[in-house]
Amino acid sequence: MRPTSGFLLEILGGLLFVIAGIVNQAGYIIDGAFGLSLLVAGVVLVLYALRKPKGVLRGFGIFTVGLLALGAVASGGFSMEAPNTSLVFSATKAQVPQQFFILTASTGSGSVHLTYSSDPSTAYRVTFRYSGGGPFPSLTIVPRLTNSSNGDVFRLNLNGAGAEIEIVLGRGYTLNASLHSNAGNVEFTQGAGQQVLSLDCTSSAGNVEVTATSVPYINCRSSAGNVDAAIGAFSVTGTASLSTSAGNINLILRADLAIGVSLKGSTSLGNARASGVEGMTVLAKSSAQFEGQTSNYANSSNQYQVTCQSSLGDVLMSFGASG
């Protein structure tokens, strides 16, 4: 007897569940997997609605659910066990004598944390925490660290797969950092007196939390989480962008009186509020928008532009000037 379309869809759906289990155990991450699975599942359901073939309803259902399950685990959305394995890498200042430090860190379901060390001999210490073992230990993808140097520039690349990444950076470097997680939080705390030229912190489904001072370029973005930032603008020219598609933004901005500051905040569905802006020239203000500039913005040699935007959530901004 020739297999029916419904039977084949049931087989395919079952295989998708098997693949989803293997992918989850391995910790393999595919950017945009869940969105792609939603798209394919939607097309399948539309085709069913248009054609309504007999005897395949159950097959369509199993196939669709299996596809969504695979998309969810491949995007880093599920973890069946707590991290139980640690992998540590470290280096000393003698091993990393370069001045410029370029750091790139990315992971799937884990979080990314960066702080600074109090040990003057430390260049960096990286700890990966992830789930190992289980029924398919040979399929576990181990996080990777690679580095290279060219003249006065040192590059450190961290691929966490699904691991949590903790980074402790040595003092005295000039840093460019890019930190990303698919489904975890991203946190950055700048050490006192440490120079950072650019900072890019993003999460697809987690919160972003940043504490930074006098950084010329800051980008904090979450697709489905909150963005919290404490930013100092002192003797610097640059921009800071905070954005989220579904979450709140909380900004604390402190600036030197000599800095010309432009502050913009808006939300598509929520409230936008600014405090401490009494001395600013207000260019636009409503329940969902605020735009203002310090009186010296147009003529200042040091200008700092801050933009906060949420599609679904509140935008809260606090400003203070001193000096």
Q: How far apart are alpha carbons 308 and 314 in whole angstroms?
A: 10
pTM: 0.76
**Block mean pLDDT (10 aa), the chain, length 323:** 56 61 52 54 59 55 55 50 79 97 95 96 96 53 91 97 94 98 96 96 97 97 97 94 97 95 97 96 97 95 97 97 79
**Which candidate, 73, 77, 216, 96, places its Cα nearest to that of 147?**
96
pLDDT at 237: 95
- The domains of the chain are located at 5-74, 85-322
pLDDT at 135: 46
Q: How far apart are alpha carbons 278 and 255 in whole angstroms?
A: 15
Residue 180 contacts residue 203 (beta carbons within 8 Å): yes
pLDDT at 228: 98
pLDDT at 223: 95
Sheet bearing 164-169, strands edge to edge: 85-92, 122-130, 164-169, 112-116, 186-189, 208-213, 227-233, 249-256, 315-322, 272-275
pLDDT at 85: 85
Q: Which helix (H) or strand (E) holds 318?
A: strand 315-322
